[in-house]
């Protein structure tokens, strides 16, 4: 990554070069921390003096901390650099049924978290969020809040939510009122796009330049990384595989169409399969359904298996169209990956075209925090430009 960035800036202004070098050094500290200046110079190919200057600047800006002193053979005692965990981000994950608000640091560790039911309108949601963000800001007085990152179950354009069929909010500007009320910068994006950034940021998947993140909850979304670059498409609408109709006579979808992939492969689909099979199923959450399957309820297991089949089958669109090396699956279903993962894998990897290669499927669960890590990554990406850098 570093070499690519450096070789392509020949002839650029010294300010641009400085910015790129800084980004390279920050990314190396992020991925290899704790790391000494000497190792930074070796890994980046930059002069030791350049590393020292950038390191001093980053320490002065409180992005990076120095110490502890290392103990290496032959008497060398270098000082290690690492990211400053007192730089925190407010992460917000908005879903149709609930909103989670958490404080996370630059390394993706969360210190606090609260969940509220999703208000019926964007205006009410903004008001509810401001009410909760203010005490969070007061509790973080001894830290530096870098901004607010928001993940959404839909597509955004210029701070506005423009397509969110499961949320049922009208097109609205969420960013401006939140930024005004808090004085913080607000970054927002589709949850699957944010999960792609989180994979690059926290999981260091730089070697995998073609990956797709599939979020599976009330709907099914996809975020696409091609040649190391996040693909947003015209009007930011790329990745809506969930709304490709598989059967025009199928059940109605929130987008107004019928028989879309997500109608068969989302959490809601599994609940529908279960309720269809049991006449008196009562009120059930997806988490309840998973627990029932774990406890040996055959009907629940069958419903989840059907969902897994459709999930994997729909992924063939992604495999044929984008040829990713890896597909990340983010959602509650991954809690039971040992049971339903093989079903998804078998379907997704069936009928790989001659000359193609089946993608590696990676479940991401982390106790439901994967989307919040995405929210944190949205803000960090602005500073570190990991994806932009990889694609430079
Ligand atoms: Zn649809």
pLDDT tens-digit readout, 16-31: 777 778 888 888 898 8
The Å distance, Cα 245 to ligand 1 centre, comes to: 7
Is the pLDDT reported for residue 109 higher than 60?
Answer: yes
The Å distance, Cα 356 to ligand 1 centre, comes to: 29
The Å distance, Cα 372 to ligand 1 centre, comes to: 25
Determine the Cα–Cα distance for residues 94 and 84; give it in Å rounded to an integer: 27
CA distances to 4, 352, 381, 384 from 236, in Å: 27, 28, 17, 22
pLDDT of residue 53: 93
pLDDT > 90 fraction of the chain, expressed in percent and rounded: 66
Angle, helices 37-44/14-32, rounded to nearest 10 degrees? 120
The Å distance, Cα 19 to ligand 1 centre, comes to: 42
pLDDT in tens, 124-170: 999 999 999 999 999 999 999 999 999 999 998 887 888 899 998 98
The Å distance, Cα 160 to ligand 1 centre, comes to: 20
The Å distance, Cα 188 to ligand 1 centre, comes to: 22
Determine the Cα–Cα distance for residues 258 and 80; give it in Å rounded to an integer: 57
* Residue 355 DSSP one-character state: T
Is the pLDDT reported for residue 11 higher than 70?
Answer: no
* Contacts (Cβ under 8 Å, ≥6 apart) of 62: 84, 86, 87, 144
- The token duo for 184 is 């913080």
> Cβ of 244: how many Cβ atoms within 10 Å?
13
Most confident residue range from 75-89, 165-179, 276-290: 165-179
The Å distance, Cα 252 to ligand 1 centre, comes to: 8
pLDDT in tens, 187-201: 999 999 999 999 888
The Å distance, Cα 155 to ligand 1 centre, comes to: 13
Is the pLDDT reported for residue 2 higher than 60?
Answer: no
- The answer to whether 142 touches 156, Cβ cutoff 8 Å, is no
- Reported as a pLDDT band with limits 50, 70 and 90, residue 383 is confident
The Å distance, Cα 261 to ligand 1 centre, comes to: 7
How is the beta sheet containing 110-117 ordered, strand by strand? 110-117, 98-105, 87-94, 144-152, 186-190
What mean pLDDT is predicted for residues 360-384?
A: 86
* Contacts (Cβ under 8 Å, ≥6 apart) of 68: 34, 79, 80
The Å distance, Cα 304 to ligand 1 centre, comes to: 20
The Å distance, Cα 258 to ligand 1 centre, comes to: 7
- Reported as a pLDDT band with limits 50, 70 and 90, residue 70 is low
Is the pLDDT reported for residue 10 higher than 90?
Answer: no
- The token duo for 234 is 């015209």
CA distances to 30, 91, 267, 392 from 147, in Å: 18, 9, 31, 25
pLDDT of residue 313: 96
What mean pLDDT is predicted for residues 244-258?
A: 95
The Å distance, Cα 146 to ligand 1 centre, comes to: 36
The Å distance, Cα 153 to ligand 1 centre, comes to: 13
Is the pLDDT reported for residue 3 higher than 70?
Answer: no
Higher pLDDT, 313 or 170: 313
The Å distance, Cα 131 to ligand 1 centre, comes to: 33
pLDDT of residue 282: 65
- The token duo for 362 is 């990676």
Is the pLDDT reported for residue 272 higher than 70?
Answer: yes
What mean pLDDT is predicted for residues 271-286?
A: 81
Q: Please calculate the CA angle 208-239-287 and round it to the nearest 5 degrees.
A: 90
The Å distance, Cα 163 to ligand 1 centre, comes to: 11
The Å distance, Cα 257 to ligand 1 centre, comes to: 5
pLDDT > 70 fraction of the chain, expressed in percent and rounded: 89
pLDDT in tens, 198-245: 988 887 666 788 999 999 999 999 999 999 889 999 988 999 999 999
The Å distance, Cα 168 to ligand 1 centre, comes to: 13
The Å distance, Cα 107 to ligand 1 centre, comes to: 36
The Å distance, Cα 354 to ligand 1 centre, comes to: 31
The Å distance, Cα 243 to ligand 1 centre, comes to: 4
Classify strands 186-190 and 144-152 as parallel, antiparallel or unpaired: parallel
The Å distance, Cα 253 to ligand 1 centre, comes to: 5
Determine the Cα–Cα distance for residues 125 and 273; give it in Å rounded to an integer: 31
The Å distance, Cα 259 to ligand 1 centre, comes to: 7
pLDDT of residue 302: 97
Residue with tokens 């009928």: 351
pLDDT of residue 322: 94
């Amino acid at each position: 990554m570093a070499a690519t960035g450096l070789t392509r800036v020949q002839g650029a202004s010294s300010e641009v070069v400085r910015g790129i070098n800084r980004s390279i050094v920050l990314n190396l500290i992020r991925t290899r921390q704790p790391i000494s200046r000497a190792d930074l110079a070796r890994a980046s190919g930059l002069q030791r003096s350049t590393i020292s200057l950038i390191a001093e600047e980053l320490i002065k800006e409180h992005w990076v901390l120095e110490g502890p002193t290392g103990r290496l053979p032959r008497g060398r005692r270098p000082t290690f650099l690492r990211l400053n965990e007192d730089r925190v981000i407010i992460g917000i994950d908005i879903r149709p049924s609930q909103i989670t608000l958490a404080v996370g640091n630059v390394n993706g560790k969360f210190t606090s978290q609260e969940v509220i039911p999703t208000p019926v309108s964007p205006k009410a949601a903004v008001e509810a969020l401001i009410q909760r963000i203010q005490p969070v800001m007061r509790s973080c007085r001894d830290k530096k809040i870098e901004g607010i990152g928001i993940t959404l179950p839909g597509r955004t354009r210029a701070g506005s939510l423009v397509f969110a069929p499961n949320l049922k909010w009208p097109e609205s500007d969420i960013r401006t009122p939140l930024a005004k009320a808090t004085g913080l910068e607000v970054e927002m994006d589709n949850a699957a796009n944010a999960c792609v950034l989180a994979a690059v940021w926290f999981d260091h998947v730089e070697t995998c330049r073609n990956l797709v993140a599939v979020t599976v909850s009330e709907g099914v979304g996809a975020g696409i990384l091609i040649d190391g670059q996040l693909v947003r498409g015209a009007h930011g609408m790329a990745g809506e595989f969930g709304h490709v109709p598989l059967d025009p006579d199928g059940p109605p979808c929130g987008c107004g169409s019928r028989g879309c992939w997500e109608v068969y492969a989302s959490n809601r689909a599994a609940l529908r399969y279960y309720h269809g099979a049991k006449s008196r199923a009562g009120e059930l959450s997806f988490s309840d359904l998973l627990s029932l399957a774990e406890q040996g309820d055959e009907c629940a297991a069958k419903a989840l298996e059907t969902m897994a089949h459709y999930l994997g089958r729909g992924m063939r669109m992604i495999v044929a169209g984008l040829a990713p090396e890896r597909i990340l699956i983010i959602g509650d279903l991954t809690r039971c990956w040992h049971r339903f993962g093989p079903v998804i894998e078998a379907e997704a990897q069936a009928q790989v075209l001659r000359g193609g290669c089946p993608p590696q499927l990676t479940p991401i669960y982390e106790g439901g925090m994967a989307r919040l890590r995405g929210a944190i990554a949205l803000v960090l990406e602005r500073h570190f430009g990991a994806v932009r850098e990889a694609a430079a």
